[in-house]
Amino acid sequence: MIPPRLNRFKRMLQSSRTTIGLFMALANGYTAEIAAEADFDWLMIDGEHGPNDLRSILPQIQALGCRDVPTIVRPVTAETWLIKQLLDIGAQTLLLPMVDTAEQAAAIVAASRYPPHGVRGVGASLARASRWNGVKDYLHTAADELCLIPQVETRRAIADIEAIAAVPGVDAVFIGPSDLAADMGLIGQPTHPEVRAVIDEAIVRVVRAGRRVGIFAGDVPSFMRSVELGVSFVAVGSDVATFAQGTKALATQFRELAGGRQGR
């Protein structure tokens, strides 16, 4: 029998070091392989805003699995049926958007557990996650290697952040500055001082409660402040933005060298 697949992200989360990762929304296995060559601690396959579905997430999980890169998957929504599908194809760490209450977080945990601990449907013989029933005791041990991370990204969620983080089976919470800013009436301003103040206080509260917290911080001041306050993991950018910036910079540089001629 095959031993259970260990979740390296879950173990990294237990260490005291802050890890860095990249959001991937280019939605294919080939660019996931390129990102895997960079020196990130983990990579996140984004099905919330990237054009990903189950069939595009699978090859990315496979590509990253070959390289042993700790992988997070973010589905478009935290629905029970979608959590089942993602776990069955082998996702072990899920980042779940728009979780506002401890009850919603508890429902996510239930979706990830087989009965009697939850409501995950049993289809291990058809599932890559169990190596098609090859993993020893998969039905009994699968939950041990799962890592569930609700996103806290509204004022309502921030008010309840300790309760959400304390739900048994929740491994960490993740603060979404963009949606939080929007909820605060400051859409497009995730680094606004008022948003930052709410974020700072939320981080401190989670850390004080002895729980883990992550965040997206793509600029140096937000990154440094978040690390200083004790976040465990930070998404520092995205493949899409990196590609857009890189291609623009390249074109600009050589357009100038070419004397500004249009050439198209």
Residues of this chain that interact with ligand 3PY (CB under 6 A) are 151, 153, 176-179, 216
* Distances 45 to 12, 50, 107, 127 between C-alpha atoms, Å: 18, 8, 22, 20
Of 110, 212, 100, the residue nearest 160 (C-alpha): 100
* Minimum separation from the CB atom of position 77 to ligand 3PY (A): 13
The stretch among 9-17, 113-121, 172-180, 225-233 that binds Mg ion (CB under 5 A) is 172-180
- Going by C-beta distance under 8 Å and a sequence separation of 6 or more, which residues neighbour residue 155? 180, 183, 184, 198
Reply yes or no on whether 49 is catalytic.
yes
If contact means CB under 5 to 8 A according to the sort of partner, which of ligand 3PY, Mg ion, none does residue 19 touch? none
Closest residue (Cβ) to Mg ion? 176
160 contacts Mg ion (rule: CB under 5 A): no
176 contacts Mg ion (rule: CB under 5 A): yes
The stretch among 56-64, 174-182, 213-221, 245-253 that binds Mg ion (CB under 5 A) is 174-182
The two three-digit tokens of residue 147, written as one number: 């890592």
Which residue, 89 or 184, is less far from ligand 3PY as judged by CB? 184
Which residue, 129 or 195, is less far from ligand 3PY as judged by CB? 195
46 contacts Mg ion (rule: CB under 5 A): no
* Minimum separation from the CB atom of position 194 to ligand 3PY (A): 15
- Specify whether the CB–CB gap between 167 and 105 falls below 8 A: yes
Q: What are the residues facing 22 on neighbouring strands?
A: 43
Strands (E), 36-153: 42-46, 71-74, 93-96, 147-152
Which residue, 135 or 231, is less far from ligand 3PY as judged by CB? 231
Amino acid code (one letter) for 180: L
